[in-house]
Amino acid sequence: MHRAVFPGSFDPLTLGHQDIINRALPYFEEIVIAVGTNIDKEYMFSVEKRMSFIKKSYKDCNKVVVKAFQGMTVDFCKSIKASIIIRGLRNPADFEFEKSVAQINRKLSGIDTLFLLTDLSTSFISSSMVRDIILNGGDYTLLVPNVVRVSESNG
């Protein structure tokens, strides 16, 4: 089975994330959306809520599996027998950072990274920008899938 991992914090899931997932789907039998948790990072949404956003978005797609993980992405990939890491690139700065990470991951594990350029219509969207808009009471709904809605508790 050709299984890929698309890792990230997805705090929250954006239309940019969906663009990458949707365009990667034809190439793999299964894509594991790996929702990462870093104990040193503060999240707007709980891991359960972040996973829920993705599961609801892909409830009708049996090729998408959502799992939480901690630690190194390559270790997670090995544990589920994934052969590829998927990463989206919005701009040259993303490329420079992701290139270094991909080279280290390959050196450590032999796992390759597939880069997909985001569509122009979503290339300006980042989760951090969406969080800022939410925190400041702005209209974030044009940047996220319909399933992403802020509740009173955010969690």
Q: Which of 49, 50, 127, 131 is catalytic?
A: 127
Of 9, 17, 49, 87, which is the active-site residue? 17
Which candidate in 41, 81, 107, 151 is catalytic?
Answer: 41
Catalytic residue among 90, 106, 109, 126: 90
Phi, psi of 10, rounded to the nearest 5 degrees:
50, 50
Q: How far is CA 20 from CA 4, 31, 41, 136, 139, in A?
A: 12, 11, 24, 27, 23
* Active-site residue flag, 50: no
127 annotated active-site: yes
Its sign, for the CA torsion 60, 131, 87, 33, is negative
- Is residue 90 annotated as part of the catalytic site, yes or no? yes
Whether 17 sits among the annotated catalytic residues: the reply is: yes
Question: SS3 helix, strand, coil % of the chain, rounded to 5?
Answer: 35, 20, 45
Q: Known catalytic residues?
A: 17, 41, 90, 127
